Structure 1
């Protein structure tokens, strides 16, 4: 088999040096793996490792090489990105990493799925694809091994501090400082070629003080650009002095940096004192931005300043190299570089009072809640209370239309979810945490629907459960457990759902209010789960308990709904007399409510029970009565469905002539209802489904 050669593509603007490293990576792509040389080619994707300390430009190098690979055309499915370490240095949960990769493929993992299940979904999704997985800030070999695709058509490009022992068939490409020419060129971007030409020795000394690290050189270049009157030698003289200053000494971070990180600490110590006081304070507060993502709204809330001022300040910090643009140009979204995050946290702890930092976080959360409410309100119809509230907001808090709000929500979703996780874990702002989770849930449902947002909603319900448990909020705890149980049941995890529902029932009953809605919902959910498990006797027993509660509350709609579900469980259990009593009671409740469609559906189910019990004439007579009621509703879909049910019943009873008439009538009704009606008609169990849907809309 002929090896494919990756030819160098055009370099992206701003990328300097790294000719040797890129050549190593190209050679590793072309080189046969160790397993292949041993005669046992692995069925897994190749792994290329870019190893270097933060600040060496390791991620930029990986991005450049990924761009080359895409330009070569061997990976038409693009680059999938995920960061395996959080800004605070803790490993990112595997579930979050896999979901980020799946999102890049446009695939949703099942809500509430465990790590193994999600990894299986990812591997299956990659089987027929040719993609590059760019995994940044890999902490351990174990993190990486679980993500390697089971196909040679995909390539893993990993970025880590050092070699990852335990990952087979991988050779690290070690990244250090830039070469002298690239370092001088980087300084020229801020200092200009004149200052570098006039004093090349100072430029070389400055590059050495920065360890030739791209991140440190970028900061020094930014300082020179902001001080056009200063000579390069001034920057060289200021760096040691800045490092000895008590305030910049806080840049040791947590934990203290290694000697290899000292150049970056010195470069930041040069820049930080030169910033205007408001900009320096905002910089120190940036580690509070969730996931390291910041925009004008986040910055304005953290600093307590106007949005326009925050926007200009962020642009200024980016010009210094303290922030990196994130997303398309012009969106005003930035990322705090991972190499600077621990140093900025050191500044935050040393120079800001804990109470001030907490207040800044609270302001940021309040602003986020307002934006989420606006994001959801723009989906409401004109003239609604939500729209009236939206109209009263300042222009900078409103979205132009639904599409603009959806784009904002999609682009900020990782930061929004990170914000929710952080505030819940912190535990000091639980009231704000509950409001944030609620607002985020509503916005996701408004724009993506409950089913489309199910994976995110599952995580949010778990956060609600954490806060409710910590605060002793039994009703909220019960509601979260019920929501989680519903999502577990929808994905087939019935045993887990049953456990959630039982725990929810205990939490709801602890309020000493047995008539509260959560108790009834828990009872019905437990019964429904037993029904899914085909344990009809237990299902009927729990529906009986729910019915007793509905009678005690005088809730006729709940009585109708539960009687129907009880009748269905008893029908499946083969208890015909008991099932008939339940269906008749359900029909009587629907009559009292004036719901003819639901009553007609109940009669169809009653006819089915008569048929199962061997009462053919009674079954046909009850079915005909259901048709008369359905005709009074004017619902052609319902009329057609019930006629088909009656025709099927007549066929089973051996009365083909009787079946022909309602079947022909159903076909005519479907033709009148339109081309989509036939695919939407459900004959099996239609009556039962009808009465549930009708009762649920009250």
Structure 2
């Protein structure tokens, strides 16, 4: 099973990749691990009372960020992995800025990790229920990192005693029954010295063991502080452990606060000015996710310089490299408040705003490039792409798709932060428009529906705040389409009606026409044939007034289909004849053939087989001219059925044979040359983009 990735806020294990936990050496915590494993076997309150445990056992690891609490949880998961054959799931419940991650987003991520359905737009309660149902038939261990309170944890607890939940928090989770916290602090001296040795080697520790022990004491045995101290010494082979201990002791005498704060400030003070600025600005990265492009845009330096600096920060223990093929980094959660404090004290608000704007602008350009690389080689988008700097270009669609997949959490976080900021709404709208186009280009509308739903919701927030009725209408239409696609037809209907009001306020005929047609489609889905025909008729009147004959012909067909469902065959016949006339004027032969096919069907429903036979033959001829083999075969089968009803089985057999030959030849052509290209007129689904975005994107 694919694990849901989570970035730990602290490390006791030694290694370069925070996600490759099992490959690293774990130091210390033997007593804590023994207690936790014993707690799994401990009889709970339900067992003692003779009842079967209704929920999974919950273990709690409590400690401050930086003490190695997440690494301890990961080591526990590694040790008990054999008992949970369906794997491990990981997720974070608190964002780096301290705000709780919405339950809807957490449950959706976990459902995706389980490869279970997570329909876009579904409520947090429904998604949590889906998650509990999925876990009820599995034996998994669930790591809930950085849990804030019991209310955030409780909806995610599996109703399955065979599962295990390991929660990581700063304090107790009052409200969850039968949970005993395992509280941790710093490492013991022996383990802390081993951790320090992995960074600076054994010689410097062996030569001055007292100073090494003093340094461990000054770091309070906290893994995060020890990693920074070890990284600082590793980069300065001429500095002794005693030198660093003296400098930190002086800071301690000055009353500079907790161990991690002292060590971090000492390391920061020795950084060159440009590197210190990059480090400070990493606090602006979306939820701590950073890559060379993000760091480059934030600090206003080259991509190569940003990457070299980030690699230096990895060696210093200030950031962590994420175990992916692309260069990706994360800022430890325990350092983000310290970095934010530095930006507030050393950088002007205008400078920070400019850095955010540069980051969003760079992200927009990368997303534009990511989408453009999927276009044909001679398209305007590809020609424009050739003029971009090489650092902003992707060599092929596969590389662009890999970047989009790796950066998707950061991209969605960037969109949320941009909307929450409120002062960069123009850039936020451009970012969201580019993100939607890139997701659709690489994943398709259906596969990317959950992400698109979230982005369109953000667009709606900005449009409401800025009083932008066109964008509000577009967002409501897109959200309505996604609601309708997941069966929430009444919710979709409400959005379509709101989109109609917004489109009228914007005096946007496209949005109003789309909204009226969508309202009709929603009523059709609800089998309210009268209202469906009425709304389609309103949309038709607008199309006719604007001279949009192709759309008018399509709407005639939709009205005819509604009348057919309602059994009003006379109105249905008139509608299909109007549609056929419109397609004939437009010269749309495939659409004319399909409309004739539907007209023949209605004639058959109306009890006129001879007339249905004649029209079906005419439709087959138009389908032949349109080279639509599948439609030809379908019409041959319909002719066969009609002839059988009219008492001519011999002719019916001939038509069935012709249909079988057509389908066989079509299958052979598809096997040789791939699937046939879909007819453009078959794509009935409408899309409504964020239309005020810059045309350059």
| Residues 17-26 or 393-402, more deviating | 393-402
Counterpart position of 1:560: 553
Q: What is the Cα deviation at residue 153 of structure 1? A: 3.6
Report whether the alignment pairs 1:380 with 2:380: no
| Preserved CA contact (<8 Å) 1:564 1:691 | no
SS of the residue corresponding to residue 519 of structure 2 reads helix
Residues 92 and 174 of structure 1: CA distance in aligned 2, closer, same or farther (over 3 Å): same
* Structure 2 residue 267 is the aligned partner of structure 1 residue 271: yes
Q: Does 1:48 align with 2:59?
A: yes
Distance 1:242 1:649 in 2: 95
> Match of 1:39, SS?
coil
What's the CA shift for 1:577?
2.1
**In the alignment, what sits opposite 1:109?**
118
1:177 maps onto 2:186 in alignment: yes
Identify which of 570, 574, 583 aligns with 2:567: 574
Q: Which residue of 2 aligns with 1:216?
A: 225
Aligned-partner Cα distance in 1 for 2:225–2:686? 62
Deviation at 1:665, TM superposition (A): 2.4
1:652 shift after superposition? 6.2
- The counterpart of 2:541, out of the listed 543, 548, 551, is 548
Instruction: Select the residue among 519, 523, 528 that pairs with 2:516.
Output: 523
Q: Which one of 168, 187, 195 corresponds to residue 186 of structure 1?
A: 195
Deviation at 1:658, TM superposition (A): 5.9
Residue in 1 that maps onto 2:674: none
Matched, 1:325 2:321: yes
Separation (CA, whole Å) in 2 of partners of 1:309 and 1:573: 68
Matched, 1:446 2:457: no
The answer on whether the counterparts of 1:240 and 1:266 sit within 8 Å (CA) in structure 2 is no
What is the distance in 1 between the residues matched to 2:93 and 2:644? 61
> Which residue pairs with 1:147 in the alignment?
156
Higher relative contact order (Cα pairs below 8 Å, separated by 6+ residues): 2
- Residue 622 of structure 1 corresponds to 615
**C-alpha contact (below 8 Å) 1:108/1:455 kept by paired residues:** no
**Displacement, 1:141?**
1.1
Q: 2:253, 2:647 → 1: CA distance?
A: 98
Does structure 1 conserve the Cα–Cα contact (< 8 Å) formed by 2:560 and 2:575? Answer: yes
Change (3 A) 1:498 1:695: closer
Aligned to 1:315: 311
What residue ranges of structure 2 are gaps of 5+ in the alignment? Answer: 1-20, 672-678, 688-697
Q: For residue 168 of structure 1, report the CA deviation from its aligned partner.
A: 2.6
- Tell whether the 8 Å contact from 1:35 to 1:169 is kept in structure 2 after alignment: no
How many angstroms apart in 2 are the aligned matches of 1:471 and 1:368? 22
2:105 corresponds to which of 96, 100, 109? 96
Following the alignment from structure 2 to structure 1, what is the Cα–Cα distance between the partners of residues 643 and 86?
Answer: 55
Correspondence for 2:77? 66
CA distance in 1, matches of 2:90, 2:648: 63
CA distance in 1, matches of 2:349, 2:210: 44
TM-score (norm 1): 0.89
Distance 1:398 1:243, change over 3 A: farther
Deviation at 1:561, TM superposition (A): 0.5
Cα-Cα RMSD: 2.5
Q: State yes or no: 1:36 paired with 2:42.
A: no
2:581 corresponds, among 570, 583, 588, to 588
CA spacing shift, 1:19–1:538, aligned 2, 3 Å? same
CA contact (8 A) 1:243 1:269 kept: no
- 1: CA distance between counterparts of 2:265 and 2:685? 66
* Distance apart, 1:381 and its partner CA: 2.0
SS at match of 2:146: strand
Out of 290, 300, 303, the position equivalent to 2:299 is 303
Please give the alpha-carbon distance, in whole angstroms, between the structure 2 residues aligned to 1:11 and 1:632: 64
**Contact 2:93–2:148 at 8 Å: present in 1 too?**
yes
Contact (CA 8 Å) 2:326, 2:403: kept in 1 or not? Answer: no
2:484 to 489, 497, 503: 489
What whole-Å deviation, never above 9, does each CA across 1:486-505 have from its counterpart, x for those lacking one? 00001010111001100111
Q: Secondary structure at the match of 1:47?
A: strand
Deviation at 1:692, TM superposition (A): 5.5
* Number of residue equivalences: 660
CA distance in 1, matches of 2:250, 2:374: 56
How far did residue 312 of structure 1 move?
1.2
Partner deviation per Cα, 1:431-484 (whole Å, 9 max, x = no partner): 111111111111111111111101101111111111222222211111111111
Any stretches of 5+ residues in structure 1 without a counterpart? 1-9, 250-258, 679-688
Name the CA distance, whole Å, in 2 between partners of 1:58 and 1:585.
71
Label 1:160 to 1:407 Cα distance change in 2 as closer, same or farther (>3 A).
same
Does the CA-based 8 Å contact 2:54-2:160 persist in structure 1?
Answer: yes
Instruction: Tell me the distance in 2 between the aligned counterparts of 1:667 and 1:429.
Output: 60
Q: Secondary structure at the match of 1:230?
A: coil
- 1:86 corresponds in structure 2 to 95
What does 1:316-465 correspond to in 2, within 5 Å? 316-328=312-324, 331-465=326-460
Alignment partner of 1:137: what SS? strand
Shift in CA distance, 407/694, structure 1 to aligned 2, threshold 3 Å = closer
Runs (4+) of structure 1 exceeding 6 A deviation are: 652-655, 675-678, 694-697
The CA deviation at 1:29 is: 2.8
Say if 1:601 and 1:691, in contact at 8 Å, map to a contact too: no
Q: 1:565 offset after TM fit, Å?
A: 0.1
How far did residue 236 of structure 1 move?
2.9
Q: Is the 8 A contact 2:219 2:226 kept in 1?
A: yes
CA 1:649–1:58: 2 relative to 1, 3 Å? farther
What CA distance in whole angstroms lies between the structure 2 residues aligned with 1:218 and 1:117?
A: 42
User: Residues 620 and 331 of structure 1: is their aligned pair in 2 closer, same or farther, counting only changes over 3 Å?
Assistant: closer
Does the 8 Å CA contact 2:609/2:642 hold for their aligned counterparts? no
- Which residue does the alignment assign to 1:230? 239
How far did 1:113 drift?
0.9
CA distance in 2: counterparts of 1:691 and 1:102, whole angstroms: 36
SS at match of 1:433: helix
Q: 1:622 to 1:640 in 2, by over 3 A?
A: same
Alignment of 1:1-40 (within 5 A): 12-40=23-51
Is the alpha carbon distance of 1:674 and 1:204 closer, same or farther for their aligned partners in structure 2, counting shifts above 3 Å?
Answer: same
1:126 CA displacement: 2.8
CA distance in 1, matches of 2:422, 2:511: 26
In the aligned structure 2, how far is the partner of 1:281 from the partner of 1:691? 55
Cα shift at 1:576: 2.3
Aligned to 1:686: none
Partner of 1:339, secondary structure, is: helix
Contact 2:557 2:576 in 1 (8 A): yes
Would you say the 8 A contact 1:12–1:64 is kept in 2? no
